[in-house]
Structure 1
Amino acid sequence: MNILKRKLYWISFLTLSICTVLALYYYYLSKYGVDDWDNNIKPYSQFERYDENLKNSFLSSNENNYVERYRDLFKYFMKGYLEYKSEEGALVYYPGENSSRGVKINALEGFARFFPLAASYMMSTNDVPINIDGKKINLSILFKNAIVNGTDPNGKEYWGDIGNRDQRLVEAADVALGLWLSRDHIWKKFNEQEKQQLFNWLMQAEGKLFTDNNWNLFPITIFKVMEGLGANIPKNIKYSETLYQKYKSNTYKGKGWFFDAPSGYDYYNGWAIHYSLFWLNQIDPNFDPEFIKKSNIEFVDFYKHLFSSKGFPFMGRSVCYRVAAPAPIVAGSILSPEIIPPGLALNALDSTWKYFIENNAIKEGRVTQGFFEDDLSLLDGYSGAGSCLWSLRSLVIAFYADSKISLFESKREPLPIEVSDYEITNDIIDWKISGIKKTQKIILEVKNNDLDTVYPILKYGLKNELLELIFRYPNRPNNHKALYENRFYSNQNLLFE
């Protein structure tokens, strides 16, 4: 009898333990697990043909026809948008891996990070309808409809309320920028109720908490756009000025460089900070113009030495944003064309896009989630399928520049590596860039880092895959050491092989 009782006790104990573990597991999944983690979205039919056509167009011998090649490049990404967009177009579900923020945010990123490029293209072409697969598409009508649906709190494609430390704040800045760029084509199509609905959504950025780094520039961009579109709200104008001055005084270190938390100095200075400062200058030419132009000149004067037709030395986080790297150089061709010639900017832009297109970083109508091909070893947990479209930022400025200074008709000018050997040092960030003209090799030396230690990329493997399967949450290798703490990085980018 005692034996039977003991057996019943242990069976009950084990049953209760299993139930408790399962309950805790399902509680964890409900609280932290990423919705629709498996993301079974497939590439669209016959994407291989479009990938091949892009390569043939962009890498062709007729490389001097920049206008045609870059319009083809836009149409390629436009095809991707059309294939992966939701019914009303406010969300874009690209194939690829999820981020920690979930499918809905990934889909918002897919829209918000493409929209400024579409808006810039509209500006460059005066919103002439484009032909995709034999169909004429009016971009301004298409995107106007998408924005109305995305900002409608009662709609099925509503982007959601903007909260504290919310990724929606980042995406709202891109939506706002796209609205400003397309103001002559989309803005006038909204009725008063739709404009108010849009402003109501953007106004949610007011008073929100956010990460104290380049995120400071997002609410400033939102409120400056609103001001530029006619919503002159004194408290927001004052808030933007106060926040900007605080940000500048706390993070600007000199010679064009800002300290950007959490890691200090990396390509975020180019594709996030100088990118945002450029647009603030264009939206409001009286917004700290001397500082923005001077810091851009000083930044680009050093930064341009990183670029070649064989790539640039990559280091730092958000690897999949890499094609945005030439953005501040292109911005400089507008801010200070007498110092940063448009032909030099065009060369940096074109060399970068050719380098990545040739190495399969653009495929399936999207930007891949790695350095060349998709690579989960390099994908941050906060990056999902739509995140990598930040790479389009160099194109956003390029089409805008084409509308202002006919960038794509500029005579290409040589990059520093195509002129001579060099060694150039920035003592603010303790970086040295060395270039050898004969081999086109460029080496970035981070002088503060240890000379003898070499950190390889930790690879995403079976353990990571198993933990992601169980917990339905990104478990990707922490490659901070390899991306920030090596002494040398080169444009051969052997680190990523």
Structure 2
Amino acid sequence: MPTIAPAWMPPDDPLSAPYTGYTRAHWVAAADRILDAARQRSTNGGALVDFSAAPGTADAGAGPPMDRLEGFARTFLLAALRISGDPAGTEGTAPLIAHYAEAVQHAIAQRIWPALTDHSQATVEAASIAIALHLTRDTVWAALDDATRDGVHAWFAQARGTWCADNNHVLLGATLAAFNHAGGFADGRDTVENALDRMDDWHRADGWYTDGDGRRFDHYNAFAFHWYPFFIDELMGAGFDDRRALHRERLAAFVDGYQLLFDARCAPVFQGRSLIYRWATAAPFWMARREGLDVLGPGMTRRLTSGILRHFVDSGSLDTGVLSLGWQRGPIPSMVQSYSGPGSPYWAAKGFLGLALPADDPVWSAAEAPLQIERTDVRRVLDGPRWLIEGRADDGIVRLHNFGSDGHPTRDDPLYRRLQFSSVTRPVPGGTVRDSDLTIDGAVHRPATRATVGARGGAVTRALDAGGRHVVSRVATKIVGAGVVHVARLTGCVGLPGRVSGAALVADDDRPVGIAPQGQGEVVDRGEVRDQGEAVARSAARDQGEAVAQSAGLVSAVRFLGAWAASPSAEPAALPLAPVGVVERIADGADVLLCPTVRLGPLPAEVVIVWQTALSRASIAALAISDVVVHDDHVALTVDGERCVFRWSLAEFLPADVEAQLIRRP
């Protein structure tokens, strides 16, 4: 725990919360800080909230209506969670009940909220309002007059029959239909059944869903697929008990694996879109508790969820009470999606689901229990997304080795198509530099066609569009000791330059790249070797085939270990590719990213390339390889005395996995 907490937070409780210091009072304080900022920015009788400008400025309240609806809906959801856990108002929720009842009544009477139409962002926000009203049925909803309730039902009914994206959005219209069904306004069973059946199509394994056709695995599993179905099931009643049982079964399996995507600081792995929702990643752990699933136990649930919140609070996310379009304190343009606006980050409200639990729930009184990574090393295969999760107790970092998450089928998104992600790094935005991967300069990486994952590594095959040239990349990866070895077979790349790279680090100061501070060991940049500030002579091959970036106590390295002819041979010929090690500097908003890279080329028509990557808090020695034997479907070699086989994947994805996302009518 940091020794200094924000002044607006209560004192830490080191007895019951030895890891985070957080109690229910800290969660209430964080929620109220956000809600106070929202109240200051509310307009139109409280029915809209404008986060695009500071209160009292000329632009205050002038943001686009959809952005202001988003600001209201998502903070109303947070208020509803506060109210739901304190309906009697003993924790100061009585003013919230009055404020939001007046806001809803004003919105309906004055027709302030926009119509729900095809592909409507308003439908997304209406679903949050529906859940908020469901959670506050005995308080806010009860305070509305009949005309307002009828108006709410009529507004929700506009979504029936509209078109939406064929992904998690099908659950939004279903949420509105379920709310109206529960209120006796209209029979919503057809809409709900259709949406939940479609969601079942996307389930792969162990509670993991792809977000629409393709291989779209990310944190949307946490704050969409294991969020809406449970409120839908509640609203639809006893006739959906079988659905709810299935959803609970999948949630339990999901939570058991998803917990491992958080490091010893409880920072989530930085992967996938909509990361600006931050601690919404805590939602499924609270949902499991709400559904009576004792997967982690109250002590670990408290430690993990409070740790997630504290990680972002300590990094400055709530310094002003307003969430930026970023990850920690400030905005990061490269991580923001086209659909994101000033009010978008407030889906972070979903991470406050624990406040809907009563104050006497054991999760608030049980002593915090350590995470698995705080007790032992972690190694887990997640079959659904085809990920291998690796965490080490000695450094507390979580590494995600990716063999199956592609993102949108038609977009080469840096938040998806990489060989590795972690809890302490973020991907390089689009451009000429590609982190944690093998690539051909300027190539677009197509969706994976084959992928396998196992206990020590995995393999993935994909096509690369290199300026109209069709290159096939088959990469097999294994964890060896404290590093990772990759063996790739490239076909169709004759004459093209390529590169291999490690994880990118955020520069922590203005020190020239490649200069190590005293006592922090070796950093290599552009062929130069420096050890505690002094140049050291080395062989040219070693110097040129290695690049190491160092920042904020982290070391990221990539080492080229050799290239061989791809044709099977008892003694394959080693190929000289003149590797050049560099540390690329990439501007990313206010930050500079340092990406260790080894440039290769020009490449032959077919080649096998071997390289090592490492991400750690200490320097890692280079691995030695020997006795390389190339076969059609695998490569065998000895790594530091251990014989290893790197086999290309033979597991083929379904044709639908490489088709573009569709649009459908619920």
User: Which of 323, 338, 341 is the matching residue for 1:384?
Assistant: 341
Which residue type is aligned with residue 171 of structure 2?
A: L
SS in 1 for 2:81: helix
Instruction: Compute the displacement of 1:167 (Å).
Output: 0.4
Partner of 2:202: 251
1:283-318 CA-to-partner distances (Å, cap 9, x unmatched) read 446321221011101111111111234212110111
SS in 2 for 1:333: helix
In the alignment, is the contact (CA less than 8 A) between 2:215 and 2:405 conserved in 1? no
Partner of 2:261: 306
TM-score, normalising length from structure 2? 0.57
In the alignment, is the contact (CA less than 8 A) between 1:317 and 1:480 conserved in 2? no
Q: In structure 1, what is the Cα distance between the partners aligned to 2:233 and 2:277?
A: 23
In the alignment, is the contact (CA less than 8 A) between 2:211 and 2:220 conserved in 1? yes
1:198 lines up with 2:155 in the alignment: no
In the alignment, is the contact (CA less than 8 A) between 1:58 and 1:354 conserved in 2? no
Partner of 2:354: 398
Partner of 1:218: 172
In the alignment, is the contact (CA less than 8 A) between 2:288 and 2:294 conserved in 1? no
Q: In structure 2, what is the Cα distance between the partners aligned to 1:106 and 1:416?
A: 40
Distance 1:58 1:238, change over 3 A: farther
Instruction: Compute the displacement of 1:231 (Å).
Output: 2.0
Q: Which has the higher helix share?
A: 1
Q: In structure 2, what is the Cα distance between the partners aligned to 1:332 and 1:323?
A: 16
1:92-144 CA-to-partner distances (Å, cap 9, x unmatched) read 0013699xxx721111010101111111111211241766xxxx961111101
In the alignment, is the contact (CA less than 8 A) between 2:33 and 2:321 conserved in 1? yes
Distance 1:448 1:211, change over 3 A: closer
Partner of 2:316: 360
Q: In structure 2, what is the Cα distance between the partners aligned to 1:58 and 1:309?
A: 22
Partner of 1:113: 74
- The more displaced of 139-148 and 372-381 is 372-381
1:260 lines up with 2:192 in the alignment: no
Q: In structure 2, what is the Cα distance between the partners aligned to 1:126 and 1:215?
A: 30
1:60-115 CA-to-partner distances (Å, cap 9, x unmatched) read 868545122111112111211111111410100013699xxx72111101010111
1:363-382 CA-to-partner distances (Å, cap 9, x unmatched) read 32222211112122221121
Q: In structure 1, what is the Cα distance between the partners aligned to 2:135 and 2:339?
A: 27
1:24-71 CA-to-partner distances (Å, cap 9, x unmatched) read xxxxxxxxxxxxxxxxxxxxxxxxxxx9433x5476868545122111
- The more displaced of 70-79 and 204-213 is 70-79
1:342-397 CA-to-partner distances (Å, cap 9, x unmatched) read 222222211111111111122322222111121222211211110110112111x1
Partner of 1:241: 193
RMSD: 2.7
Name the % identity: 22
Distance 1:381 1:127, change over 3 A: farther
Distance 1:447 1:232, change over 3 A: same
Q: In structure 1, what is the Cα distance between the partners aligned to 2:203 and 2:319?
A: 37
Q: Which has the higher strand share?
A: 2
In the alignment, is the contact (CA less than 8 A) between 1:320 and 1:370 conserved in 2? yes
SS in 2 for 1:420: coil
In the alignment, is the contact (CA less than 8 A) between 2:37 and 2:322 conserved in 1? yes
In the alignment, is the contact (CA less than 8 A) between 2:326 and 2:332 conserved in 1? yes
Partner of 1:188: 142
Partner of 2:87: 126
Task: Spell out the pairing of 1:158-169 with structure 2 (5 A cutoff).
Answer: 158-169=112-123
In the alignment, is the contact (CA less than 8 A) between 1:436 and 1:442 conserved in 2? yes
User: Which of 222, 227, 230 is the matching residue for 1:278?
Assistant: 230
Partner of 2:184: 231
Structure number, greater radius of gyration = 2
Partner of 1:8: none
In the alignment, is the contact (CA less than 8 A) between 1:106 and 1:385 conserved in 2? yes
Instruction: Compute the displacement of 1:199 (Å).
Output: 1.0
- The more displaced of 385-394 and 122-131 is 122-131
Instruction: Compute the displacement of 1:254 (Å).
Output: 2.1
Distance 1:441 1:403, change over 3 A: same
Distance 1:493 1:414, change over 3 A: same
Q: In structure 1, what is the Cα distance between the partners aligned to 2:232 and 2:366?
A: 25
1:444 lines up with 2:444 in the alignment: no
SS in 2 for 1:481: coil
Instruction: Compute the displacement of 1:406 (Å).
Output: 4.9
Partner of 2:326: 370
In the alignment, is the contact (CA less than 8 A) between 2:167 and 2:211 conserved in 1? yes
TM-score, normalising length from structure 1? 0.76
Which residue type is aligned with residue 75 of structure 2?
A: F
Runs of 4+ residues deviating >6 angstroms: none
Q: In structure 2, what is the Cα distance between the partners aligned to 1:103 and 1:363?
A: 25
SS in 1 for 2:326: coil
In the alignment, is the contact (CA less than 8 A) between 2:255 and 2:295 conserved in 1? no
Distance 1:59 1:411, change over 3 A: closer
SS in 2 for 1:159: coil
- The more displaced of 403-412 and 307-316 is 403-412
Q: In structure 2, what is the Cα distance between the partners aligned to 1:174 and 1:404?
A: 26
Partner of 1:433: 389
Partner of 1:12: none
User: Which of 270, 289, 296 is the matching residue for 1:340?
Assistant: 296
SS in 2 for 1:53: coil
Partner of 2:133: 179
In the alignment, is the contact (CA less than 8 A) between 2:230 and 2:244 conserved in 1? no
SS in 2 for 1:408: helix
Distance 1:59 1:481, change over 3 A: farther
Which residue type is aligned with residue 121 of structure 1?
A: R
Partner of 2:105: 148
1:441-494 CA-to-partner distances (Å, cap 9, x unmatched) read 1111102489xxxxxxxxxxxxxxxxxxxxxxxxxxx99532111211111125
SS in 1 for 2:253: helix
SS in 1 for 2:415: helix
Q: In structure 1, what is the Cα distance between the partners aligned to 2:335 and 2:215?
A: 16
Q: In structure 1, what is the Cα distance between the partners aligned to 2:343 and 2:123?
A: 16
1:235-259 CA-to-partner distances (Å, cap 9, x unmatched) read x2232123322x1342112210111
Distance 1:403 1:57, change over 3 A: closer
Q: Unaligned stretches of 5+ in structure 2?
A: 428-504, 507-666
Q: In structure 1, what is the Cα distance between the partners aligned to 2:335 and 2:12?
A: 26
1:290 lines up with 2:222 in the alignment: no
1:79 lines up with 2:9 in the alignment: no
Q: Which has the higher contact order (CA 8 A, sep 6+)?
A: 1
- The more displaced of 406-415 and 190-199 is 406-415
Partner of 2:64: 103
Q: In structure 2, what is the Cα distance between the partners aligned to 1:222 and 1:209?
A: 14
Q: In structure 2, what is the Cα distance between the partners aligned to 1:193 and 1:413?
A: 49
Instruction: Compute the displacement of 1:181 (Å).
Output: 0.4
